[in-house]
């Protein structure tokens, strides 16, 4: 079986090396970087918008282009997270936590490099896993029903217990308001609109994650920076020399552990339908922080805090192609659009695709190896360009960022309602932040909330109102167990530290 895989992979690589496909990979990665870096576009909209372009080439080249774009966009999200402090997509939220502080300290190049290398690692691990274990993993994904999804969401929530500030009521408030904002719009279980304030039709589509994230991180962050810098240049121009590049490269050993963990975690979470890259990146960040020797230094600009979520989101983006190709089920919103594309090209994703169109599947797999390589080279080469952004005077940079925010808030839904809402969230987020309300938990909760609510209610309906179903599900119980451990671990840590200090004090 192993030999067979190698033969197929060889054929796939040959397919990917054809000039047209190579060109597709290159332009896909470049377009992806660009689309990913613009807040509000992100991979979903990028893929959806460029889908019709691909009717002009054969299907294999088309999917290679879009997959490369997806791939590039995952990294592009990190660029805006680090240099501008605005996550381009939900998958890049966790990258802001440490990426932005690093940039403010003048270490943007280090952060960008950590992101590039971690992404490369995540990409490599996930493609190898994809090549070796696609069919059995697809079976595992099928075993994930609503109870398992709910337990996975609980696990994801548990990983970011430590992300809040010191003020516990304010942190809880932030999580709750994020969850509440997520409930606005249509309730699919009862089929009725929910919390439509003042009957404004714009609330019917709910509050997109991007509206809150761009509002808080884009507009709110800009107001905050304006206040602190008074419109001066915030970071001295960083001279990127070869020497600095090499010394940055040596930093790898600091974050390789977290990135490796993130790569494996990202792939497995990514393969589960409905989960996708966002929970994967959050869980990776949370776990790396919890189990690091120095959890308190996270959130203040630690390369490991950039590497862990970046490895996971790249890895998960490959992982989420697995259920799409083997089952015809999208693992993320972007793969949902890719799936639509495949159907339009006359390819039927599903259990038979591997057997009936090996040239397509293996061409795609081959292209992922190459795309991964192309992205890392492109990124490392472009770091000096991205860093320049930070040296721009603030009164020039700010209007450009506001422009991107407004356009990015409008483009996904084509509704000015969302842009106004974004401004409201921005100003409010700024005021709340001044009063020490942490904003990150709200942004994360709006992403995970809907998944958690609907999977819980699906489980309860299936159990006719009884939660006993969870007890019969070994996978769900395992997730709950780990979630409990994660919540208790920091408490245990605090106790042992206190114990140690006491012991030390007694000795002295």
Partner 1 sequence: MTTKTAELSMAIFLLLASIALMFKSAELNIGWIPGRGPGAGMWPFYLALGMALTCLATIFRWYRRTTPQSRNEDPFLSPETFPIVAITTVALIGLLVGIHIIGIYFSLALFIVFYVGYVGRHSWGLTAALAIGTPVFIFCLFEWALTTTLPKGLEMFEPLYYPIYDLIY
Partner 2 sequence: MKNSFKKIITGVSALALCTTAAVTAAQAWEPKKPVELIIMAGKGGGADQMARLWQGIIQQNKLSPRPFIPVNKPGGSGGEALQYLKSKAGDNHVVMVTLNSYYTTPIMQPELNVDISTFTPIARMALDTFLLWVRPDEGIKTLDEYVEKVKAAGKDWKVGGTGSGQEDSILTAMMEAEFGYDVTYIPFPGGGTVAKNLIGGHIDSTVNNPSEQSEFYRAGQSMPIVQFNDERSPAYPDTPTAKELGHDIVYYMQRSINGPADMDPEAAEWYRDLFKKVFDSAEWQKFCNEDGIDCSTWLDAAGLEEFHKNGLARHKNLIEQVGAKAITGE
**Quick check: 222 binds partner 1 (CB under 8 A)?**
yes
Q: Does 358 bind partner 2 (CB under 8 A)?
A: no
Q: Are 121 and 263 within 8 A, CB to CB?
A: yes
And the tokens for 89?
A: 């997509």
Residue 300, C-beta contacts closer than 8 angstroms, at least 6 positions apart: 98, 101
Other CB atoms within a 10 A radius of the CB of residue 188 amount to 12
88/206 with CB nearer partner 2: 206
Nearer to partner 1, 461 or 484 (CB): 461
Answer for the pair 271, 141: CB distance below 8 angstroms, yes or no.
yes
Does residue 231 interact with partner 2 by CB under 8 A? no
CB of 405 to partner 1, least distance (A): 9
Q: How many residues bind partner 1 (CB under 8 A)?
A: 58
Say if residues 115 and 307 touch (Cβ distance below 8 Å): yes
Whole-angstrom Cα distance, residue 86 to residue 39?
7
Minimum distance of partner 1 from residue 149's CB (angstroms): 15
Letters for 111-150 (x = contact with partner 1 by CB under 8 A, - = none) are ----------------------------------------
As measured in angstroms, the least distance from the Cβ of 45 to partner 2 is 9
The option from partner 1, partner 2, none interacting with 231 (CB < 5 to 8 A, set by class) reads partner 1
DSSP class per residue in 101-148: HHHHTT-HHHHHHHHHHHHHHHHHHHHHHHHHHHHHHHHHHHT--HHH
Question: Of partner 2, partner 1, none, which one does residue 183 interact with (CB within 5 to 8 Å by kind)?
Answer: partner 1
Cβ-based nearer residue to partner 2, 441 or 450: 450
Strand partners, 188: none
Least distance between partner 1 and beta carbon 484 (Å): 21
Applying CB under 8 A, among 253, 293, 296, 464 the residue interacting with partner 1 is 464
3-class DSSP assignment, residue 445:
helix
Q: Is the Cβ–Cβ distance between 409 and 171 less than 8 Å?
A: no
Nearest-CA neighbor of 227 among 421, 408, 106, 398?
398
Q: Name the binder of 381 from partner 1, partner 2, none, CB < 5-8 A by kind.
A: none
Name the segment binding partner 1 (CB under 8 A); options: 72-80, 109-117, 186-194, 494-502: 186-194
Type and span of the H or E element at 77: helix 59-83
Question: According to CB under 8 A, which one of 29, 48, 280, 447 is a site residue for partner 2?
Answer: 48
Can you tell me which of 19, 136, 169, 346 binds partner 1, judged by CB under 8 A?
Answer: 169
Residue by residue, what is the 3-state secondary structure of 169-230?
HHHHHHHHHHHHHHHCEEECCCCEEECCHHHCHHHHHCCCHHHHHHHHHHHHHHHHHHHHHC
Q: Give CA separation, 454 vs 129, 274, 502, in Å.
A: 30, 11, 47
Nearer to partner 1, 104 or 183 (CB): 183
3-state secondary structure of 393: coil
Residue 321 interacting with partner 1 (CB under 8 A): no
What is d(CA 508, CA 504) in angstroms, rounded to the nearest whole number? Answer: 6
Asked if 337 interacts with partner 2 (CB under 8 A), we say yes
- Euclidean distance between CA atoms 341 and 190, whole angstroms: 31
> Is 88:34 a contact under the CB 8 Å cutoff?
no
Q: Which of residues 55-74 bind partner 2 (CB under 8 A)?
A: 55-56, 58-59
Residue 144 in contact with partner 2, rule: CB under 8 A: yes
| Closer residue to partner 2, CB minimum distance, 325 or 404 | 325
Alpha carbons 343 and 95: distance in angstroms, whole number? 34
Residue 227 touching partner 1 (CB under 8 A): yes
How many CB atoms neighbour CB 497 within 10 A?
A: 10
Nearest to 14 by CA among 377, 374, 362: 362
> Is residue 199 at the binding interface for partner 2, with CB under 8 A as the rule?
yes
Q: How far apart are CA 369 and CA 64, in angstroms?
A: 11
Q: How far is the CB of 12 from partner 2 (least distance, A)?
A: 16
User: Measured in whole angstroms, how far is the alpha carbon of residue 9 from the centre of its chain?
Assistant: 28
Cα–Cα distance, 384 to 196 (Å, whole number): 46
The closest of 295, 470, 378 to 28, measured between CA atoms, is 378
Map residue 187 onto helix, strand or coil.
strand
Under rule CB under 8 A, which residues in 409-448 are in contact with partner 1?
410-411, 414, 416, 419-420, 423, 427, 430-432, 434-436
Asked if 393 touches partner 1 (CB under 8 A), the answer is yes
Q: Which is nearer to partner 1, 40 or 323 (CB)?
A: 40
Q: How far is the CB of 493 from partner 1 (least distance, A)?
A: 24
Q: Is 401 in the site for partner 2 (CB under 8 A)?
A: no
By CB under 8 A, residue 223 contacts partner 1: yes
C-alpha distances out from residue 330 to 284, 344, 430, Å: 22, 15, 36
Shortest Cβ distance from residue 339 to partner 2 (Å)?
6
Q: Which residues bind partner 1 (CB under 8 A)?
A: 49-50, 167, 169-170, 172-173, 176-177, 179-180, 183, 187, 189-190, 192, 194-195, 197, 219, 222-223, 226-228, 230-231, 393, 395-396, 398-400, 402-403, 406-407, 410-411, 414, 416, 419-420, 423, 427, 430-432, 434-436, 453, 456-457, 460-461, 464-465
Q: Which residues bind partner 2 (CB under 8 A)?
A: 44, 48, 51-52, 55-56, 58-59, 141-146, 185-186, 188-193, 196, 199, 201-206, 273-274, 323, 327-330, 333, 336-337, 339-341, 343-344, 346, 348-353, 357, 359, 413-414, 454, 458, 461-462, 464
């Amino acid at each position: 079986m192993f030999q067979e895989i190698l033969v197929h992979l060889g054929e796939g690589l040959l397919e990917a090396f054809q000039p047209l496909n190579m060109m597709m990979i290159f332009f896909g990665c470049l377009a992806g970087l660009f689309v990913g870096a613009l807040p509000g576009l992100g991979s979903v909209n990028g893929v959806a918008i460029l889908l019709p372009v691909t009717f002009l080439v054969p299907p294999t080249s088309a999917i290679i282009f879009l997959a490369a774009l997806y791939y590039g966009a995952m990294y592009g999200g990190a660029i805006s997270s680090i240099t501008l402090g605005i996550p381009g997509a939900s998958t890049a939220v966790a990258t802001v936590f440490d990426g932005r502080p690093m940039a403010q300290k003048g270490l943007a190049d280090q952060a960008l490099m950590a992101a590039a290398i971690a992404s490369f690692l995540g990409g490599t691990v996930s493609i190898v896993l994809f090549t070796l274990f696609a069919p059995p993993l697809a079976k595992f994904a099928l075993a994930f029903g609503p109870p398992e999804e709910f337990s996975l969401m609980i696990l994801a929530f548990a990983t970011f217990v430590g992300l809040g500030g010191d003020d516990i009521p304010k942190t809880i408030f932030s999580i709750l308001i994020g969850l509440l904002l997520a409930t606005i719009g249509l309730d699919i279980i009862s089929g009725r609109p929910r919390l439509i304030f003042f009957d404004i039709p714009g609330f019917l589509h709910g509050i997109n994650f991007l509206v809150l994230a761009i509002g808080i991180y884009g507009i709110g962050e800009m107001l905050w920076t304006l206040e602190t810098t008074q419109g001066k240049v915030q970071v001295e121009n960083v001279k990127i020399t070869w020497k600095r590049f090499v010394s940055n490269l040596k930093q790898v050993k600091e974050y390789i552990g977290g990135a490796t963990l993130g790569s494996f975690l990202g792939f497995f979470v990514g393969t589960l339908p409905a989960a996708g890259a966002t929970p994967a990146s959050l869980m990776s960040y949370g776990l790396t922080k919890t189990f690091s020797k120095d959890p308190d230094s996270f959130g203040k600009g630690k390369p490991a805090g950039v590497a862990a979520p970046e490895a996971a989101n790249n890895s998960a983006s490959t992982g989420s192609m697995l259920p799409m190709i083997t089952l015809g089920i999208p693992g993320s919103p972007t793969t949902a659009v890719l799936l639509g594309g495949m159907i339009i090209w006359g390819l039927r994703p599903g259990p038979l695709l591997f057997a009936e169109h090996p040239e397509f599947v293996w061409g795609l797999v081959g292209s992922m190896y190459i795309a991964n390589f192309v992205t890392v080279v492109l990124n490392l080469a472009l770091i000096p360009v991205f860093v320049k952004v930070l040296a721009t005077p603030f009164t020039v940079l700010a209007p450009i960022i506001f422009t991107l925010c407004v356009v990015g808030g409008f483009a996904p839904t084509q509704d000015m309602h969302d842009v106004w809402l974004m401004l409201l969230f921005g100003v409010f987020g700024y005021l709340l932040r001044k009063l020490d309300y942490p904003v990150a938990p709200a942004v994360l909760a709006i992403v995970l909330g809907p998944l958690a609510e609907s999977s819980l209610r699906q489980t309860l309906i299936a159990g006719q109102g009884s939660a006993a179903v969870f007890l019969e599900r070994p996978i769900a119980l395992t997730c709950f167990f780990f979630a409990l451990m994660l919540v208790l671990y920091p408490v245990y840590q605090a106790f042992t530290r206190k114990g140690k200090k006491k012991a030390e004090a007694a000795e002295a």
